[in-house]
Structure 1
Amino acid sequence: MLKSIRGRLLLQIGLLLLTIVVLLEVIFAAAVSTYYFDSARQIVQSRAVTAATLSNQFMEGYTLPERARYILENLVPSESSRVEVLDLQGRTVVDSYGFSSSKRIRTADVRIAQQGGVGSYSGYSNAFKQRIMAVSSPLVSYGEVIGTLRFSVSTEPLYDEVAKLVVWAIGIGAAVLLLGFGLSLIIARQIVGPIKELTVISRKMATGDFTARAVRQNDDEVGTLADSLNHMNEELSKSEKMKNDFISTVSHELRTPLTSIKGWGETLVVGGLDDDETTLKGLSVITNETDRLIGLVEDLLDFSKYQAGEIKMRSVPVDLNLLLQQLDLQYSWAGNKRGVTLSTYLPDEPLPMHADLNRLKQVFVNVLDNAIKFSDLNGEIRMTASCEDLQVHVSVQDDGEGIPAEDLERIGRRFYKGSSKMSGSGLGLAISKEIVRLHGGRIKIESEYGIGTTVTVTLPLAVEEFMSGSEVATHLASSDK
C-alpha cells in the first residue's frame, strides 16, 4: 500500500496528525499540572505566611512552645493542611494533631525558613507514604529566627485530578486522530481518484485507443493534467490519422508505377519484342516509373534519416545566386512538360553563404517541382531572390489551385500530405523544412485557395570568401550524376 500515492498520503497525514496531537497533549498536561500545583502552592503559602506574620507581630518575646500552642489553637476549623511548628534543629515541637517528634525534618523549605526566607517543597513523604507539598515560614523573635511554621498538604488528589484531565485529553486526541484519518481518506480519494482515471486513459492511449477523454473534475493541477492529456490525445489522434493517410498515399504511389511496370513487362513478354515501337514505348514507361519509385524511396530514406538526426550538413562557402541561375536554366526546359514558364528575378551581386550545396538544391528542386505540379496548364511561376539584414529571401510563386486554409497550417508536418489529388508522397516539404532548419533558416508558406501559393525560403548570408562560379557548376554537375 505504501507504494501507492494514496498509501503514502495517508501515512504522511497520519504522522503529521499524530505529531501535532502528541505535542498538544504534552503541552496541555504540562500547563494543567503547572496551573494546579502553582495554585495549590500559592494557597498554602498564603496561609503559612499569614499565620507566621501574625505570630511574629503579636507574640514577640513568647517562647516557641507558647507560640506553637497559640497558633494551633487559633487555626480555622476548615484548615485542611497539616500544620507543624519546628525548632531550629527541625524537630517537631507540636503539630495540628497534637503530636511532637524528635525526628528531624531537613527538606529544602525548612532550611530556607531557618535562614529567614519562605521556602516550598514538593516530594514524597516517607512518614505518610504519599506525595506532599509543604511551605515553611520563619518564626522570629526580636529579629532572630527561633523556629519554623510549616504547612503541608497531600498532593495525591491533585495528581488524580490532573490524571483525569490528561485521560480526557488523550480521549479527545484519539477522537481527533480518528476524525483526521477519516478526512484524510476522503481527501486521498479525491486526489487519487482523478489520477487513477488519467492512468486508465493513458493506458488506453498506449494501446492505440484515442477516443477516451479525461474529465476535468477540479480547477487544479490534476485538472490541468487532464486538459494536457486530452490535448495530447487529440494530437496523437491527428498524428495517427495523418500517418494512416500517409501510408495509404505511399501505398498508392508505390502501386501505380509497379502496376505500370508489371503491365508493360507482361505486354513486352507476350509481344515477344517484335514491335520496335511498342518495345521502345514500354521500356520508356518502365524507365520513367522506375525513376518515380527511386525518388519515392529516396524521400522515405531521407525522411527517416532526418527524423533520426543522422544527416549532417557538409557546409562550404557557396554562392546561392549561381545555384538559382542553374535552376533557372534547368527549369526553363523542364517546365515545358506542362506548358509552365518560369520567370526568374535574381540580384546582380553574389549571395554568399555557408551551406551544403546538394541539400540546398534538393530544397529548391522540391519547391519548384511542387510549383509546376500545382500550377495551371500553360501557367507561370515566378522565382525572386532579395537580401535584407544579412538574410536572403527566395520566393517561388505559382498561380495554381492554392492550399485550403484548413490544410495550410499543417503543410510540412510529418505524414501530412493535404487534400490535393496530385501524385506524391507529401514528404518533400517536410524534408525541405528540416534541411533549411539545419542551415539556420526557415520556410514560410502563404496561399489563397483558388489563386495560388507563395513559398519563401529564408537563409542566412555569409561575408567570407565563397566558391567561384566554375566550382559551383562543377559541384552541381557531379551531384547530378
Structure 2
Amino acid sequence: MKKGIKVRLVSYITIVLLLIVLLLEGIFIFGIHSYYLGTAMDTLTSRASTSATFFNKYLEGYSINERARYILENLSREESSKVEVLDPSGAVIINSFGFASKEHIETPDVTSAQDNHIGTFRSITPVQGERILAVSVPLREYDTTIGILRFSVSAEPLYEVILKIAINAAWVGLGVIAFGFVLSLLIAKRIVGPIQQLTEIAQKMATGNFNVRAQKRYDDEIGTLAVTLNYMSEELGKSEKMKYDFISSVTHELRTPLTSIKGWGETLLVGDLSDKEETLQGLEVMTGETDRLIGLVEDLLDFSKFQAGEMQLEPLIYDLRKLLEELHLQFRYRGQPKQIHLYAEIPEQPLPVYGDFNRLKQVFVNLLDNAFKFTPVQGFVRITASFSGGQVAVTVADNGEGIQPEDLAKLGTKFYKGKSRQSGSGLGLAICKEIIELHGGRLSIRSEPMKGTVVTVELPLHQGPQPESSS
C-alpha cells in the first residue's frame, strides 16, 4: 500500500523518539547500576580495610589461627557480611558462621590480596547460586602476608532493586513514546493537512480549473507554496485565455483567405473564362490570399519549433549594414498607397555580426511590416542603426496608432495578439524576440498611444575579421 507523508512522518518521529528513550534508559540504568554496586563496594572495602588495619596493628605476634578465632569472637552482631579468614594459599581457615573447611577460594580479590594488595570482586553471573560482592585484604606480620581477611555480601538484593527501577523506567519510557506518538500524529496532521489541500487544488488545476485558490494558513514554506500555487493558477488562467483568444484569432485569419479563395474559385468555375480581366483579378486575389496562408502557417511552424527548442541557427559573419540597405530598397515603395515615407539612417562603417542571415532578415522584415501596417496615411517609418560598447542597435520607429500600456508589457508573449483589428497571427513579435535572444541580443519596445512605436534590436558586434561581403 502506498505510504503517505503522514505515515512516514509519524514513523520517523516514533523511531527517533524510541532511539532517544532507549539511549537515555540505557544511560540511566547503567548509572543506577554503577551507583548502587559502587556504593556497596566502597562500603565493603572501607569496612574490610579498617578491620584489617586494626587486626594487623593490635594482633601483632599472633598466629593466623589465633587471629582467626579472635576475629570470629569479636565480630559485631550487626555485621551482615560474610567474613572469612584464609591462609596465604586461599584455603578457608574459618568463616563468620564458625565453620572451617579445606575450600580454596581463587577469585580475583583473593589473588590480589595474595600479592599484598586490596582486592575486589563483583560477580556478574551467580557464584554458588548468587551474585556476590567481595573484598580481600592481606593480614600481615612484619611485612609478610600470613593470611587474608575476606568480606563478601550477596548482591542479589541490589540487583532486585535495580531491576525494579529498570522496570519503572521502562514504563516511563513507554509512556513517553506513547505521548510522543500521539503528539507526532497531531503534528503530522497539521503539516499534511495543508499539503493535501494543495494537492487537491493542483489536481483541479490539472483538469483545467484555474479558478481555484489555496488558503495560506501559515507564514512558512507551505504558506509560500500556497501563494506560489495561486500565482501559477492565475498565470495559467491568463495563458489559457490568451491561447483561446489566439486560436480564435488564427481561425479567423485562416477563414478569411480560405473564403476568398473558395469564392473566387467558384466564380471562375461557373464564370466566363474568356473574360481575361476578371480571370486575372481572381487569380491575383487567390495568389495573395495563398501567400497570407503560407505566412500564417510558417509563423505557426516557427513558433512550434521555438517552443520545442528545435530551432537551429546557421550563423555566419556578415555586415548587418548591407541587410539594412537591402531592406530599405525593398520597402521603399511599400508605403506609396498610403503616402508613408521611409527614412533610413545607416552608418557608413561596417556593422559585423555573427548570426543567421535569413533569421535576422525575418526579424527586420516583420518589424518593418508591422510599422507600415499600423502607420496612418502620410505617416513615416524610420530605420536607424548605431553601435557602441560592443553592441549594434537597430531601431524601427513609426508615428502610428501606438500601443496601450496594458498591452505593451504582454507583447512578445505566446498566444498574445493584442486588441488590434489588423490581420495577423499575433506570433510575429514572439518569434522575433526568440530569434534575437538566440543570437545573444535583446528586443525592446517603447510606445505611446497615438504617438507611435519604437522597436529596438540590440545585437553583439563581432570582434574579429571583418566580412568581405554580405550574404
After superposition, what is the alpha-carbon deviation per residue over 1:226-275, rounded to whole angstroms, capped at 9, x for unaligned?
33322222222222111111101101111222223333444445544576
Separation in structure 2 between the aligned mates of residue 410 and residue 327 of structure 1, nearest angstrom: 28
Identity of aligned residues (%): 55
Say whether residues 1:433 and 2:437 are aligned partners: no
1:114–1:314 Cα change, 3 Å: closer
Shift of 1:368: 1.0
Separation in structure 2 between the aligned mates of residue 316 and residue 32 of structure 1, nearest angstrom: 85
- In structure 1, list runs of 5 or more residues that go unmatched: 476-481
**AA matched with 1:263:** G
Contact kept? 1:130, 1:154, Cα under 8 Å: yes
1:89–1:299 Cα change, 3 Å: closer
1:263-282 correspondence to structure 2 within 5 Å: 263-273=263-273, 278-282=278-282
Shift of 1:132: 1.7
Say whether residues 1:466 and 2:460 are aligned partners: no
Match of residue 311 from structure 1 = 311
Match of residue 220 from structure 2 = 220
SS of structure 1 residue aligned to 2:432: helix
Shift of 1:432: 1.6
**AA matched with 2:134:** A
- TM superposition score normalised by structure 2: 0.91
Match of residue 120 from structure 1 = 120
SS of structure 1 residue aligned to 2:212: coil
Give the number of aligned pairs: 469
Contact kept? 1:242, 1:415, Cα under 8 Å: yes
Shift of 1:422: 1.6
Give the alignment's Cα RMSD to 1 decimal: 2.4
Separation in structure 1 between the aligned mates of residue 142 and residue 312 of structure 2, nearest angstrom: 113
Between 67-76 and 357-366, the greater mean CA deviation after superposition? 67-76
Say whether residues 1:140 and 2:140 are aligned partners: yes
Contact kept? 1:2, 1:8, Cα under 8 Å: no
Match of residue 327 from structure 2 = 327
Shift of 1:47: 1.3
Separation in structure 2 between the aligned mates of residue 47 and residue 354 of structure 1, nearest angstrom: 101
Shift of 1:455: 0.6
1:25-174 correspondence to structure 2 within 5 Å: 25-123=25-123, 129-174=129-174
SS of structure 2 residue aligned to 1:223: helix
**AA matched with 2:121:** Y
After superposition, what is the alpha-carbon deviation per residue over 1:422-465, rounded to whole angstroms, capped at 9, x for unaligned?
22111111122222223332211111122111011122333524
After superposition, what is the alpha-carbon deviation per residue over 1:352-373, rounded to whole angstroms, capped at 9, x for unaligned?
3333333222211111111111
Separation in structure 1 between the aligned mates of residue 269 and residue 380 of structure 2, nearest angstrom: 42
**AA matched with 1:142:** Y
Contact kept? 1:317, 1:466, Cα under 8 Å: yes
- TM superposition score normalised by structure 1: 0.90
1:337–1:41 Cα change, 3 Å: same
1:272-311 correspondence to structure 2 within 5 Å: 272-273=272-273, 278-311=278-311
Contact kept? 1:441, 1:457, Cα under 8 Å: yes
1:310-459 correspondence to structure 2 within 5 Å: 310-459=310-459
Separation in structure 2 between the aligned mates of residue 63 and residue 305 of structure 1, nearest angstrom: 113
After superposition, what is the alpha-carbon deviation per residue over 1:140-159, rounded to whole angstroms, capped at 9, x for unaligned?
23333332222221111011
Shift of 1:415: 1.1
Separation in structure 2 between the aligned mates of residue 14 and residue 2 of structure 1, nearest angstrom: 19
Match of residue 19 from structure 1 = 19
Contact kept? 1:317, 1:467, Cα under 8 Å: no
1:52–1:351 Cα change, 3 Å: closer
Match of residue 261 from structure 2 = 261
**AA matched with 2:418:** G
SS of structure 2 residue aligned to 1:26: helix
- In structure 2, list runs of 5 or more residues that go unmatched: none
SS of structure 2 residue aligned to 1:11: helix
Between 50-59 and 93-102, the greater mean CA deviation after superposition? 93-102
